[in-house]
Structure 1
Amino acid sequence: MSERGSVEGPLAVDDAGRERQLAFFEEPAIPDYIQRLVESYIEKKTGKPWDDPVVLDRMRNAILAQKSRYWKEKRVSYRKAYQVLGYLAYHAPVYLVQFEHILWQIIDRGLAKPHMRILDLGTGPGVVPLAVIDLLGRLGSGSAEVYAVEQSEEHFEAYNALVPAAAAARGNAVRVEKPIRADIGALEAGDLPDRIDLMVFSNVLNELRHLDIDRRADLVAGLADRLSPDGTIVVVEPADLANSTAMRQTVRAIAERGPAIYSPCSFIRGTACNPVRCWTFEQKGDIRPTRLMERLAAGKDGYRFINVDIKYSSALLRKDAKKQHAYRVPPGAKFARLSHLRRHRDKKINVVAALMSGNLGDNRTKVYKVCDGTPADPTYAVVPATLRGANRDALEGLPYGDIVRLYGVLVRFNRDHDAYNLVVLPGTRIEPVGRPGGEGTEIA
């Protein structure tokens, strides 16, 4: 039987593999074999020990320059050796664990195959392939062949030094194909392998500054021709306001060209949303600093070189139009549309919506972005600091994108942010869709 001959069902993960991966997420840390590969690469590039004071100081300067440029221009260039070394030290650890979270979601939702062809566009030094190698190695099940595209010569060199060696260290469950040296903005579908199961754009579309939203969407939709019939597109961007909202607009534009949004958006009312003000992101547990990060942070203002928090905006699109949630608000169900909240100011109403964030507030006042897919002002479910009882934690821990019914929430308009708050009260009933319960009461 060929490598592709047994792909009818999803990738099955045994209990031991699942427990290992969940334990990893409890205390995420870059595995030692990857840290050693990065340290060895630094020594190869510089001709000095990876923790040589001169090397560390130059890496600090590169990191500070990258951060400064990012906050001014929302982009970074990686054309020089120390820029790439700085990336490996500061950004790569977070991005690696971040993609493990995304890949695990894909596997856990039954979207992964026992053997997958994965294409990483704008791979950089190979963070996404490293995440694939690490996660599949930990699971002890599943295999993949990884293709990648990268334009930067320095990133290309780092990829070739790190990714094949990591695959060998992890048991060769992942076959690493020779990366393609190209600008993804100038790619044609015919330049790429076909029958791709997972096509990844991780922290890359935002860097195509010469392309507007529509042209970025044209690019992705055109390359989607190389997907298998049940292939998945992953789009990931930083969680800041500018990049996150631009990503939502881009994903919506891609969906207008063919591939359907699988998650996190559900469009439970069958309407087209307006993503211009859609700032949503996920947050996961902090990673443990790497040895390299700790050495960089040992000097003055060391906090500038510690990067451990995981926040990102992402979306999955499918060629077969499969969706995470098939739920649609039933005809005649008496839930207010979020686009109609202006009619219900200072009233208690019932709504149904998707949970589009974790807690954006604090441990006292909890704030969760919600959306029902109607063109609406930003809307948040708010758990006041004064609330006590079971409702205080009712939204805590619910998966990103899950749909909930909220019975008896109080509508308040937040003038400072031109947004609506749905205030959870002691008598509010919170019911995740899919659990037993009725459709609620009438709303005038």
Structure 2
Amino acid sequence: MSERGSVEGPLTVDDAGRERQLAFFKKPEVPDYIQSLVESYIGKKTAKSRDDPVVLDRMRNAILAQKSRYWKEKRVSYRKAYQVLGYLAYHAPVYLVQFEHILWQVINQGLAKPRMRILDLGTGPGIVPLAVIDLLGRIGSGSAEVYAVEQSEEHLEAYNALVPAAAAAQGSRVQVHKPIRADIGALEAGDLPDRIDLMVFSNVLNELRHLDTDRRADLVAGLAERLAPDGTIVVVEPADLANSTAMRQTVRAIADRGLTVYSPCSFIRGTACNPARCWAFEQKGDIRPTRLMERLAAGKDGYRFMNVDIKYSSALLRKDTKTQHAYRVPPGAKFAPLSHLRRHLDRKINVVAALMSGNLGDNRTKVYKICDGTPAGPTYAVVPATLRGTNRDALEGLPYGEIVRLYEVLVRFNRDHGAYNLVVLPGTRIEPIGCPGGEESETRST
């Protein structure tokens, strides 16, 4: 292997490894060895059987209390044992598969290295490290050194019981370092290892309620000093309106401090966006409930303890100027900026924008958030229930952040939501930028 600091190409995955990971995403579930580690930890922590009714009932109460506090205060404390056990039962399964999706995105976009130094800030019981261990073990490629920071003693106890054991179970691909006990809000860059290839803030920045947007951005930008020159920062937050929009504002502020937003935002017009109303998130396929989740859901109101859907808001940032899409709207191209839609009400126009969500509507009326980086209000591409033909599914399955040309869409204004709808018609033409056409066809478009 080459020495750290030398130039390495991106991590590559052979066909067999890729097929295994894609099969996992088709029917995602927490692997048996991780479920067994969690069950074993709960048994040791409580000194009771994993099926003990008292243990299950206390975990249910902890989960209900966490959910109640979250919706009231948008934060949760994990200082007591059953709070952490509830987290492992209810939140951790979704977060594990969720981060595998994100790490797979990093790999597919050529941002991962054959050997990576990964730092998980606010690691909790180690869900991000567990996802790294599981994915690298499944694809049979790459290796990693994992560092972590966590303040909660209860979380650290769970981390030390789960993460090293999982790494050992999957071979020697991942080296796990002893986690650093610290408050990430008070960290200095010098407290951390250097030349980090992947720095992760997963469901963490939203919990720093004592810090405003600028101070959160200062924190991330300061810690980015420990990032390798070609390293990547991952920011992930829940998909609800408050946390999602707050994350976009924080990411925008981080970019103002000299980092580059790699994805999903594409500033295709070279302008700074206004993230105040940017509610954008990804949705992936539901996971299969864990054995523990099914036991918790076996009693009354069992649905309260089922958590299987994956929705999250995320962003990747870089110290260099690398971005997912280098595309910029060519001079003279006849595409209306989204900030000018008020001039085109009830008219058919051409636009080019990034796709910032999956279908937010239903199977009849499909709704997709789009953005072109101009400081516009919320804008959606709408496929009406009455539309038939190929345009009905033209936006379905396109990657998050994909840039799309929309020709001859009808501009409407939704007064109830203060948003613009670009209605897809039978004669609308929809082209991802990867399609043939280029600048020449764009400059001729009317």
* Structure-1-length-normalised TM-score: 0.99
Following TM superposition, by how much is the alpha carbon of 1:176 offset from its aligned partner in structure 2, in angstroms? Answer: 0.1
SS of the residue 1:201 aligns to: strand
Task: Give the distance between the partners of 1:318 and 1:50, measured in 2 at CA.
Answer: 43
Answer whether contact 1:262 1:324 (CA < 8 A) is retained. Answer: yes
- 2:389 is equivalent to residue 389 of structure 1: yes
SS of the residue 1:67 aligns to: helix
Segment of structure 1 superposing worse, 3-12 or 234-243: 3-12
Amino acid aligned to 1:334: K
CA displacement, residues 13-61 of structure 1 (integer Å, 9 cap, x when unaligned): 0000000000000000000000000000001100001121110000000
Amino acid aligned to 1:102: I
Q: Which residue of the partner structure matches residue 439 of structure 1?
A: 442
Following TM superposition, by how much is the alpha carbon of 1:434 offset from its aligned partner in structure 2, in angstroms? Answer: 2.1
User: What is the 5 A alignment of 1:26-37?
Assistant: 26-37=26-37
Q: Which residue of the partner structure matches residue 135 of structure 2?
A: 135
Answer whether contact 1:261 1:318 (CA < 8 A) is retained. Answer: yes
Following TM superposition, by how much is the alpha carbon of 1:4 offset from its aligned partner in structure 2, in angstroms? Answer: 2.9
Q: Which residue of the partner structure matches residue 370 of structure 1?
A: 370
User: What is the 5 A alignment of 1:260-275?
Assistant: 260-275=260-275
User: What is the 5 A alignment of 1:7-156?
Assistant: 7-156=7-156
User: What is the 5 A alignment of 1:6-405?
Assistant: 7-405=7-405
Answer whether contact 1:204 1:237 (CA < 8 A) is retained. Answer: yes
User: What is the 5 A alignment of 1:405-424?
Assistant: 405-424=405-424
Distance 1:324 1:259, change over 3 A: same
Following TM superposition, by how much is the alpha carbon of 1:259 offset from its aligned partner in structure 2, in angstroms? Answer: 1.2
Task: Give the distance between the partners of 1:268 and 1:12, measured in 2 at CA.
Answer: 29
SS of the residue 2:299 aligns to: coil
Amino acid aligned to 2:23: A
Answer whether contact 1:59 1:82 (CA < 8 A) is retained. Answer: yes
Cα RMSD (Å) of the superposition?
0.9
CA displacement, residues 202-229 of structure 1 (integer Å, 9 cap, x when unaligned): 0000000000000000000000000000
Distance 1:137 1:3, change over 3 A: farther
Following TM superposition, by how much is the alpha carbon of 1:8 offset from its aligned partner in structure 2, in angstroms? Answer: 1.6
Question: What count of residue pairs does the alignment treat as equivalent?
Answer: 443
Amino acid aligned to 1:376: A
CA displacement, residues 313-370 of structure 1 (integer Å, 9 cap, x when unaligned): 0000011120000000000100000000000000000000000000000000000000
Task: Give the distance between the partners of 1:176 and 1:139, measured in 2 at CA.
Answer: 19
Following TM superposition, by how much is the alpha carbon of 1:250 offset from its aligned partner in structure 2, in angstroms? Answer: 0.1
SS of the residue 1:421 aligns to: strand
SS of the residue 1:243 aligns to: helix
SS of the residue 1:327 aligns to: coil
Following TM superposition, by how much is the alpha carbon of 1:5 offset from its aligned partner in structure 2, in angstroms? Answer: 6.7
SS of the residue 2:120 aligns to: strand
Task: Give the distance between the partners of 1:256 and 1:398, measured in 2 at CA.
Answer: 29
Following TM superposition, by how much is the alpha carbon of 1:258 offset from its aligned partner in structure 2, in angstroms? Answer: 1.4
Task: Give the distance between the partners of 2:443 and 2:44, measured in 1 at CA.
Answer: 65
Following TM superposition, by how much is the alpha carbon of 1:148 offset from its aligned partner in structure 2, in angstroms? Answer: 0.1
Distance 1:7 1:96, change over 3 A: farther
Task: Give the distance between the partners of 1:321 and 1:254, measured in 2 at CA.
Answer: 14
Amino acid aligned to 2:82: Y
Task: Give the distance between the partners of 1:439 and 1:10, measured in 2 at CA.
Answer: 33
Segments of structure 1 that go 5 or more residues without pairing to the other structure are: none
SS of the residue 2:235 aligns to: strand
Task: Give the distance between the partners of 1:332 and 1:62, measured in 2 at CA.
Answer: 59
* Structure-2-length-normalised TM-score: 0.98
Would you identify which runs of 4 or more consecutive aligned residues in structure 1 move more than 6 Å?
Answer: none
Answer whether contact 2:332 2:443 (CA < 8 A) is retained. Answer: no
